[in-house]
Structure 1
Amino acid sequence: MRAAFHKIFWGLIIVLVEINIEVIDILPDPLGYYLIFSGIQLVLEKYPIGKKASYLAFALIFISIPTIFIPRQNAEYNHLTIFSTETLYTFLVDILHIVIVFYLFQLMLSIAKEQGEKELYSRTLTIFKLYIIITLITMIISPFALHISKEWLGVFIIIPLLTYFVMEIIFLVLVRRFGKIQADI
């Protein structure tokens, strides 16, 4: 369990963090999705509920290749062309990322339930609900950032983005916790 969730953890970190040198992301998302995929593969035999997460992680290895050359901040906040190809592509990858996180939560809930970890199951379910709600609210609000006055920018953009970032950290801590479950896989 430790090796599987260690890979998933580092894969999620690589996908979350974007460090660009010129136009190239030195922490490429395809590598992150590969680590997530390979981590899921380690638990798949015992927990077949992870198949959808595995398939999607595998697909995202290839779908996310352009993210190496498309900085997120450029695509998300392009003031001139809101519906550009870059913006729509980034939105698609973001949606697929939420879906894979959804499936990872389903896998983690299944593991916690089968291992008899009632407290961990309850905590995972609560974090799952909060994560999905906050992520969707952030995605819905973000396109309106272009048309909000500076006085309201903090309320409508900065607070949801900070909350989203905190939820990502909480999710990463939860993934780390799953790596500590003593189970044979």
Structure 2
Amino acid sequence: MNIAFRRMSIGLLLVLLDIKIIYFDILPDFIGYFMMLSALRTLGEKHAGYRKAEPFAMLLGLAALTELLPLWQTVSWNSASELPISSLIYGCITGICQLLLLERFMFELAKHAREAGHRVLADSADSRRLWYVIASAVYMLTIPFILNAGVEFVTAAIVAGLVQFLVLLAVYFLCRKAAKSAWHSPKGGGGGHVDVRVGESEAGVEPDGRTIDFRA
């Protein structure tokens, strides 16, 4: 499980680092998204809620494959008014999918961490999930207006994008923190508890009937 969280963090980092030579992406996003998909599948074997984020990782990975060719133009803040409408729609759809992917992942991470007794990690996941949703929503709201926007508005959009990038870095470090945590699941497979009775013989339970309750 720790390896899966580490793989999730590396996948997210590959998506964040956008290094291109002309049209060729040195670190293709589809590799990052498919690494995240692999991590979610592994995590889903231990906590089923992670599987809810898998479809979004799959869609983003397939969409990122199209970026290997110059089919979509990235946003150029110096010529935003020349941005094709197809690129605008593509950016909005992938932005929404990424929002749903990471929001669902952090929601399930917080839930999973609480069940495992990692309250600090759970609180961090909830906090960063909230900040990510707000930052992403603000950034995506600016995209439709950059076509005919003035310099002031474009500058505000750049600031919103930078804030979103910083929040995504915080999500990366959250994944690294989860990878360093100790995860123990009960043999029953759920987040329940194990009852161990003390003083139990072949004939049954002793009269004192003492029990020890270990909760996950």
1:119 is matched with 120
Per-residue Cα deviation, 1:128-162 (whole angstroms, up to 9, x for no partner): 111101111011013323434334543x2232122
3-state SS of paired residue (1:61): helix
Q: 1:180 to 1:130 in 2, by over 3 A?
A: same
Once the two structures are superposed, residues 110-143 of structure 1 have per-residue CA deviations (whole angstroms, 9 ceiling, x without a partner) of: 2211111112212211111111011110110133
User: Secondary structure, in 3 states, of the residue corresponding to 1:128?
Assistant: helix
Q: Residue type matched to 2:100 in 1?
A: V
Residue of structure 1 equivalent to 2:30: 30
Equivalent position SS for 1:76: coil
Is 1:75 aligned to 2:77, yes or no? no
One-letter code aligned to 1:139: M
Residues of 2 paired with 1:59 and 1:159: CA distance?
28
Q: CA deviation at 1:105?
A: 1.0
Q: Looking at both structures, which has the greater relative contact order when contacts are Cα pairs under 8 Å and sequence separation is at least 6? A: 1
Q: 1:60, 1:151 → 2: CA distance? A: 31
Does the 8 Å CA contact 1:25/1:69 hold for their aligned counterparts? Answer: no
Q: Give, in angstroms, the shift of residue 39 of structure 1.
A: 1.1
> What pairs up with 1:1-185 in 2 under 5 angstroms?
1-70=1-70, 74-77=73-76, 78-83=80-85, 85-151=86-152, 153-154=154-155, 156-184=156-184
Which entry has the higher C-alpha Rg, 1 or 2? 2
Q: Percent identity?
A: 23
TM-score, with length taken from structure 2: 0.76
Whether contact under 8 Å (2:11, 2:32) holds in the other structure is yes
Classify the secondary structure of the residue corresponding to 1:147: coil
CA–CA separation in structure 2 for the residues paired with 1:59 and 1:164:
21
Following superposition, the deviation at residue 93 of structure 1 comes to 1.4
CA–CA distance in 2 between the matches of 1:148 and 1:86? Answer: 17
- 2-structure distance, mates of 1:80, 1:151: 18
AA aligned to 1:75 is T
Instruction: Structure 2: give runs of 5+ residues left out of the alignment.
Output: 186-216
Would the alpha carbon gap of residues 69 and 94 (structure 1) be closer, same or farther in structure 2, given more than 3 Å must change?
Answer: farther
More helix by share: 1
Q: 1:64 to 1:153 in 2, by over 3 A?
A: closer
